[in-house]
Structure 1
Amino acid sequence: MKRSGPLCANGAEYLYTDDDDYLWKTGGSNMIAEYRKMWEARNWLKKNEPFLPTWQAYVGYRLDLFHKLAGGATLESLAENYGYEETLLSSWADTGIVLGHLKQDGGRLVPSKKMLKFFSQESDHSVGELLKELFEMHMPSLMNYPQMITSNQKGRFNGEDFGKTVAATSALIEKKAFGHVLSEINAQKPRWVLDIGCGTGGYLIKLADKIKQGTFVGVDISKECIEEARQKVRKKSLGEKVKFYYADINTWEVPSRFFDVIMMNNLLHYYSQDARKELLARVSKLISQNGTVIMITPLYLERGGQRFSAAFNSFMEAHENLYPLPRKDELIRDAEEAGLQLKSIKTVVREGSWYCVNFSKK
């Protein structure tokens, strides 16, 4: 027989049976503690459910499984054609069916249009590199925190290993930020534009397509990124208008001219605060009078993007050669010391704490 009775002083009730009477009379406080423990564990399990779709999409992107299933295929044929372990493949497929990423058509599996569009390596709309960065860069570092804390030893970030991945994920932000950049550069009417840390050249090539006048120069320390950027330029026949250099901005022999616009996008976490001050001072020397400095960057603990910037900083702090994001007031102060005055701050992705920060030379 089930009865109700008071659980605690606040009037909440607990339904219990005759079998519970002894436990309730002799160990009620322990029973409450166990119930709360179970409830807390259940809550944490539920909090982690959103991880499953991300994992399933990552595996599908990494092995290009959605593309391989595009016309419909059986698990057996997929395993045989590519030498995959079939039980693991089956588990991945079952998860995809539960999530709606895949559907069954007779004995074949078919990906949803959404997964095919956004998680196929061949798709121009793919966001798979974002998941690759999450699973292969960020999560291993965050999972290694206990060992790093106890050993007092951080890791080292190898930009050559993940240069293209970082460039690809930066390109996703670029799509959102490009309007801000284009508007600022159109207002400036520059003759020379410099992009420090240009990656594979996305900003400069798009700007060169939109703006008829001017020369666009990109510098990056990733040889792989610069080679890809140069290939893009050759395909678009922009060789006279867009130039890329494999170099470190700190040691690069800059052409003997001032730049009217200097861009530094997704770059600040590669510089300690002292090095950031030196970079800003160098930029101030390279920029023409009344020139503009454009930064697309996350800012630490800004309203609306606190969770992202906290996670991003945790990743940065896990590496001895990466550095935490600046707070807004820190960046403004360092820029002012270098002779750069804040013009504007515009939101790019608020929940990601991404902003377009513009400075002019004093």
Structure 2
Amino acid sequence: MIGEYLRLFKARGYMKRNLPFLYSWHAYVGYELDLYEAFKKPKTVTEVAKEKELQEELLKRWVEVGGVIGYLKEKSKQRYQTVKKFMVPSSKQNPRSTGILLKEMMELHIPTLIKYPKMMTTDKKEVFNQKEHGMVVAQTSSLLEKLAIPRVMKVMKQTKPKTVIDVGCGSGGYLLQLSQKFPKMKMMGIELNEEVAKEAMKNCKNQDQIEIICADVHRWSPSQKIDFVMLNNILHYISPDDREDLFKKISEWIPNNGVLSVVTPIHHSKHGGQFSSVFNSFFTAFENLFPLPSENELALLAKAANLKLEKIQPVIKEGGWYQITFRK
């Protein structure tokens, strides 16, 4: 009898702990099909199903869940309307929508983590498809920019660089925002993914001070010394052995008193241990992605590259994300 009660207690515990997933699932579907926008004004399920050419029965179930969790509210004549707009992602047409984070989580992170039993028993890992997922990851990283840029900007103001390189610049978000604050700095972005590099060129086309180059950083070097180098959210794409080579290479780029700024989650960090451990589990599931660096590894990388680890400051405490300043 005690065993049955214990089994029931565990089952109820799993259900309660998984309740937040319901909100994420609803928000993901709403973002992917732009349904919150469709129900911006009161409409029936039939009306929206016809407008967006959707399966009406499934849409009805999604609407029912929305009513239960408080994202949708039933009005008169079986019409429904989006409520709590501050809680749901904005339209998919908005490039800054937080829905892109849900898309990455639901289409990439969760499916990968679910495969852990199979990977552990077959010793066969996943392969991260940069072409397929590169743009989504770049867009997700842009959400972090708003929080990371003030940290990076503070270091820039102290260093007063004339030249800046963003290694793995993504869609150019860091460069674009920094160029608006420092219009006299010469800036360059290096991006391996051709599609993402084209997006960066498009985003930065009105900023004459920014140059975007599609290249592999391991095979590329600047023609002159660079005062300030950024590595934002890319260390998990680089193996621990190659990280040391990259740090040494960047150290050769920068002059004395030059700066390397790194934004990354840190494994076993003081803050955000839960999220950083999950990030680490996700990255380790791929043959071509790599574990997060620990604070000790960062210190060893600095020593190997003749750099001083000057400061570590949190960007998102609960996520274990940090901005780290290295100086030559």
Does the alignment pair 1:244 with 2:212? Answer: yes
Deviation of the 1:288 alpha carbon = 1.7
Instruction: Check if 1:195 corresponds to 2:166.
Output: yes
Q: Which runs of 5+ in 1 are unaligned?
A: 1-30
The alignment status of 1:349 with 2:316, answered yes or no, reads yes
Which amino acid letter does the alignment assign opposite residue 105 of structure 2?
Answer: L
For residue 261 of structure 1, the aligned residue among 224, 228, 233 is 228
TM-score by length of 2: 0.96
Structure 2, gaps ≥5 residues long? none
Deviation at 1:124, TM superposition (A): 5.9
Q: TM-score, normalised by structure 1?
A: 0.88
Aligned counterpart for 1:75 among listed residues 45, 49, 52? 45
Q: Which runs of 4+ in 1 moved over 6 A?
A: none
Q: Which residue of 2 aligns with 1:92?
A: 62
- Distance in structure 2 (CA, Å) of the matches to 1:322 and 1:155: 9
| Amino acid aligned to 1:98 | V
The answer as to 2:257 corresponding to 1:286 is: no
- What amino acid does structure 1 have at the position aligned with 2:124? Q
Contact 1:192 1:260 in 2 (8 A): yes
In structure 2, distance between residues paired with 1:306 and 1:140:
22
Aligned length: 327
> Partner residue of 1:147?
118
Structure number with the bigger relative contact order (C-alpha 8 A, sep ≥ 6) is 2
How far is 1:59 from its partner? 0.5
What is the RMSD computed on CA atoms of the aligned residues?
1.4
1:227 lines up with 2:195 in the alignment? no
What percentage of aligned pairs have identical amino acids? 39
C-alpha contact (below 8 Å) 2:27/2:89 kept by paired residues = no
CA contact (8 A) 2:267 2:294 kept: yes
Q: Please give the alpha-carbon distance, in whole angstroms, between the structure 2 residues aligned to 1:329 and 1:156.
A: 28
CA distance in 2, matches of 1:329, 1:304: 15
Mapped partners of 1:143, 1:249: distance in 2? 33
The separation in 1 between residues aligned to 2:120 and 2:289, in whole angstroms, is 17
How far is the alpha carbon of 1:214 from its aligned partner?
1.5
The CA deviation string for residues 199-229 of structure 1, in whole angstroms up to 9 with x for no partner, is 0001111111011321010011111211111
Residues 233/324 of structure 1: CA separation in 2 closer, same or farther (3 Å cut): same
Could you list the per-position Cα deviations for residues 295-334 of structure 1 after superposition, in whole angstroms to 9, with x for gaps in the alignment? 0110002122111111101111110000000110111111
The aligned runs of 1:1-362 (5 Å cut-off) are 31-106=1-76, 107-114=78-85, 118-123=89-94, 126-234=97-205, 237-238=206-207, 240-252=208-220, 254-361=221-328
